[in-house]
Structure 1
Amino acid sequence: MSSSDTRKPVHLAVYDTLADWETGHTTAHLARAGYEIRTVGPSREPVVSIGGLRIAPDLALDDVRPEDSSLLILPGADLWDTGDDLAPFARTAREFLDAGVPVAAICGATAGLAREGLLDDRDHTGAVSFYLAATGYGGGERYVDADAVTDGKLVTAGPTEPVAFAREVFGLLGVYEGEVLDAWYRLFHDSDAEAYAVLQKADAL
């Protein structure tokens, strides 16, 4: 959509042990592009990130509907690998994808989606192939050894690729395109000074 006041919010999942460094590029530049960022917790009770940041969620997961959202972002967290506490977030991701609303998952969240069966029939990536294979999922043949992957409305990335993750989200939502998207990635991933001029000209900084 062309006007920020007609865009639906972007929903960022937050939960204890979330990897707070993985989504910063994504949410910062989406906010600058006019998207409202709304945090979604298991409840409205505060959560604490792996970096010790205390976050009071704007919404509880039960209150989130795909039709009210532009995108659901699922960060990594230790809790993805220590039990089923975050499984409701993967089920919500299914609801979003079924409704044609984008989902972006990074790091441990990709394992959550794998357990939910959402990667069985979609190209995807993650930390490493054997990390996802350990979930017992059926999508091993669709694993792509890349920094980030978009298949339809789903973006996936490994824990070391927050910039590539953001790039895929921006491309999917049409925030940046073409040479501007490429320049954004070159600036923030490669520290390419020449990319700065492209972004400055496009008013994309």
Structure 2
Amino acid sequence: MNTRTVHLAVYDTFADWETGHTTAHLTQNGFTVRTVGPTTDPVTTMGGVRIQPDLALGELDPGNSALLILTGAHLWDAGDDLAPFAAKARAFLDAGVPVAAICGATAGLAREGLLDDRDHTSAASFYLGATGYKGGDHYREADAVTDRDLITAGPTEPVAFAREVFARLGVYEGEKLDAWYRLFHDSDASAFAALNS
């Protein structure tokens, strides 16, 4: 497993704001973030930003990655265009490589059956329930949830999502992880000194 490269899935209507904290702090801590699209053709985010993917989904091998990040997008609920990304998430989990999914990507994972036996969260339980998945008993009312190699979060929790990623990859631990979260989630200025000690 390549422990220093993280793959960020990008596709049309990708929710820009959901991974900013995650990717910025991963990069600042020695990780390389590579984007992976359906193809290498440019995609346009929900915020109108044009992204040229580094590689196509078909080229992505879990053995060359430390983590796959899947964000929300209108396309998760508009058909099966993003189903191949959920299938790739299954390949990652089967290979023991973690996956982090936020917002609409959780619905894609639910449709793929990946939430049927793992604790998870999302925007709301009824949102996932509409997918027809069988994991309702494992739904948790929480900002973000990690169960084995799968991290999930709802659309309003990009900071909690990042915290779970950092904990899973060992970017920040213990008091530093707590300080990072207090600084960026709670605007606790006293956490700055603890984070930078």
Q: TM-score, normalised by structure 2?
A: 0.99
Q: Find out whether 1:71 has 2:64 as its counterpart.
A: no
1:20 matched residue in structure 2? 16
1:38 matched residue in structure 2? 34
1:116 matched residue in structure 2? 112
1:172 matched residue in structure 2? 168
Q: Secondary structure at the match of 1:166?
A: helix
1:139 matched residue in structure 2? 135
Residue 7 of structure 1 deviates from its aligned partner by 3.4
**For 1:24-56, what per-residue CA distance to the aligned partner results, in whole angstroms no more than 9, with x for missing partners?**
000000001111100000000000000000000
CA contact (8 A) 2:116 2:138 kept: yes
The within-5 A match list for 1:52-67 is 52-67=48-63
Matches of 1:64 and 1:162, distance apart in 2: 24
1:48 matched residue in structure 2? 44
Q: Secondary structure at the match of 2:121?
A: coil
CA RMSD of aligned residues (A): 1.0
Matches of 1:26 and 1:131, distance apart in 2: 24
**For 1:2-28, what per-residue CA distance to the aligned partner results, in whole angstroms no more than 9, with x for missing partners?**
xxxx73310000000000000000000
Q: Which amino acid aligns with 1:185?
A: Y
CA contact (8 A) 1:8 1:68 kept: no
Q: Which amino acid aligns with 1:119?
A: L
1:98 matched residue in structure 2? 94
**How many residues of Structure 1 are paired with residues of Structure 2 in the alignment?**
197
Q: Secondary structure at the match of 2:36?
A: strand
Matches of 1:163 and 1:125, distance apart in 2: 15
Q: Secondary structure at the match of 2:128?
A: helix
Matches of 1:8 and 1:96, distance apart in 2: 16
2:196 matched residue in structure 1? 200
Residue 200 of structure 1 deviates from its aligned partner by 1.4
- Consecutive aligned runs of 4 or more in structure 1 exceeding 3 Å deviation: none
Matches of 1:109 and 1:65, distance apart in 2: 19
Matches of 1:200 and 1:13, distance apart in 2: 30
Matches of 2:120 and 2:53, distance apart in 1: 28
Matches of 1:178 and 1:37, distance apart in 2: 24
Matches of 2:92 and 2:4, distance apart in 1: 14
